[in-house]
Amino acid sequence: MGVKWGVVIVAAGRGTRMGTKESKQYLQLGDKPILVHTLELFQSMDLVKEMSLVVGDDDIGRCREWVRLYELTKVTAVVAGGKERQHSVHGGLKSLSTDWVMVHDGVRPLVTTAAVRACCAAAEQSGASVLAVPVKDTIKQVNEAGVIVSTPDRRSLWAIQTPQAFRRVLLLEAHERALADGFIGTDDAMVVERLGTPVTVAEGEYTNIKITTPEDLPWAEFLLAKRRADTAEGKGGHG
């Protein structure tokens, strides 16, 4: 039977970098909104039992409509987001009942089921895991005057993605502690790290892009088309 997972899909951001009137998660990617692609991926996975979709106040109506229209039966709650992403995640977490939860960005529609499974498997071993890829570029630490102060060893640097996967009670405790302390982290792993809990890394894929700027959309279209072609070929005449 295996462990059943809940997923918080975070899509409450208003994202100004896209330069469009519409928030990025609602822009079309191929034949449907970016957010719907993301939800359909988790809907298709046996290990996912339920999803909580966190969106802006004004978007609850249309998101509930999409849940019905696209038959996203695992979406058990559509809730309003908070002031910060962290508050949105906390709200979504409270509407889930599974022992294990993932948090995923609504604007990462190209994560693969294999990567999601790898992240979940790592979390089941350690209690907390995030998807990440080794950085390819040389990274420099730069001061306020624009001067390089250090060059960290690239081998120790990973670019963090989502999903991030946790035992639910652990993530809930971490969020409640952060709220009480007025601490705002840049991701869920950071609030868990504050508890002194080790968070492991599961190696993901560079194609798991976050769609945040106009340049990202054509790249996402290309990746989506390629994936569909590969899938069709896989189902084709290969005996």
Least confident of 15-24, 61-70, 109-118, 203-212: 15-24
Global pTM? 0.92
Is the pLDDT at 239 greater than 50? The verdict is no
CB-based contact 218:27 (threshold 8 Å): no
Pull the structure tokens for residue 157. 């640097």
CA 239 – CA 228 distance, rounded (Å): 19
pLDDT of residue 17: 56
How far lies 236's CA from each of 26, 113, 226, in Å?
Answer: 32, 20, 15
Q: Which domains does the chain have, with CATH numbers?
A: 5-235 (3.90.550.10)
Go through 192-214 and write b for each residue having 16 or more CB atoms within 10 A of its CB, e for each that does not. Answer: beeeebebbbbebeebbbbbeee
CA 55 – CA 167 distance, rounded (Å): 23
pLDDT of residue 234: 81
| Residues whose CB is less than 8 angstroms from the CB of residue 68 and which lie 6 or more positions away in sequence, other chains included | none
pLDDT of residue 213: 85
- Our measurement of the distance from residue 146's CA atom to the centroid of its chain's CA atoms, rounded to an integer in Å, reads 32
Could you read off the pLDDT of 133-156 as tens digits, one per residue? 999 999 999 999 999 999 999 999
Could you read off the pLDDT of 37-68 as tens digits, one per residue? 999 999 999 999 999 999 999 999 999 999 99
pLDDT of residue 236: 65
